[in-house]
């Protein structure tokens, strides 16, 4: 009789345990793809790109530092959780040491996303509008409006002016 009761208790305890499938990395990134003005892929070549976001306290947050090379065709930037607008600053330094500065304003909606009650909440976003200065950026295009865990498709296309 004890073995039967012990067996039933073991089965009940095992059935009561839940395996949580919380994502290990629940950070949401916006993917920026570099293009030439005609829409063909662009690389930074020998130029160097720095991306940062200004903060209220006056200290900037560096998001991408010293991106360069012929394989530098895109970059990812973390999206703010609840702000309706993100301000991204780009500094492109050419081989002569001249720095070209541009800013991008990204307007978005923020939707809380819950995997489970036991998991930390995250936010998914829908891009509504972008605007930019035009020092080195020719055009900014929203390619994919929905920002979630998927980073396989570029969300924003940055068409850079011809630099050579």
Which SS3 state, helix, strand or coil, does residue 3 take? Answer: helix
User: How far is CA 140 from each of CA 22, 27, 82, 121, rounded to the nearest angstrom?
Assistant: 34, 23, 23, 30
SS (HEC) of 78-138: ECCCCCCEEEEEEEEECCCCCEEEEEEEEEEEEEEECCCCCCCCEEEEEEEEEEECCCCEE
What pLDDT, on a 0 to 100 scale, did the predictor assign at position 114?
A: 81
- pLDDT in the model for residue 94: 85
Q: For position 71, what pLDDT does the model report?
A: 81
User: For position 16, what pLDDT does the model report?
Assistant: 54
Tell me what pLDDT residue 80 has: 87
Q: What is the DSSP letter of 16?
A: H
Cα separation, 31 vs 28, whole angstroms? 10
Q: Return all residues near 153 (Cβ < 8 A) that are at least 6 apart.
A: 31, 143, 144
**Domain positions in the chain:** 25-160
Residue 75, pLDDT score: 93
Ranges of the chain whose pLDDT falls below 50: none
Using an 8 Å Cβ cutoff, are 44 and 95 in contact? no
Radius of gyration of the chain (CA): 22
The contacts of residue 72 (CB under 8 Å, 6+ apart) are: 34, 43, 44, 49
pTM of the model: 0.80
Do 123 and 111 contact (CB within 8 A), yes or no? yes
What's the number of CA atoms in the CB half-sphere (13 Å) around residue 138? Answer: 13
12-45 pLDDT tens trace: 666 555 555 676 677 889 999 999 999 998 888 8
């Amino acid at each position: 009789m004890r073995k039967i009761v012990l067996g039933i208790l073991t089965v009940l305890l095992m059935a009561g345990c839940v395996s949580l499938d919380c994502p290990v990395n629940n950070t949401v990134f916006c993917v920026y793809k570099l293009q030439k003005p005609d829409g063909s892929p662009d690389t930074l070549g020998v130029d160097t790109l720095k991306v940062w976001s200004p903060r209220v306290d006056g200290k900037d947050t560096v998001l991408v530092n010293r991106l360069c090379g012929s394989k530098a065709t895109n970059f990812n930037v973390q999206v703010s959780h609840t702000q309706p607008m993100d301000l991204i600053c780009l500094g492109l330094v050419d081989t002569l040491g001249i720095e070209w500065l541009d800013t991008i304003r990204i307007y978005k909606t923020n939707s809380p996303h819950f995997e489970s009650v036991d998991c930390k909440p995250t936010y998914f976003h829908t891009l509504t509008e972008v605007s930019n200065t035009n020092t080195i950026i020719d055009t900014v295009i929203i390619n994919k409006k929905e920002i979630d865990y998927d980073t396989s498709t570029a969300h924003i296309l940055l068409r850079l002016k011809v630099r050579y």
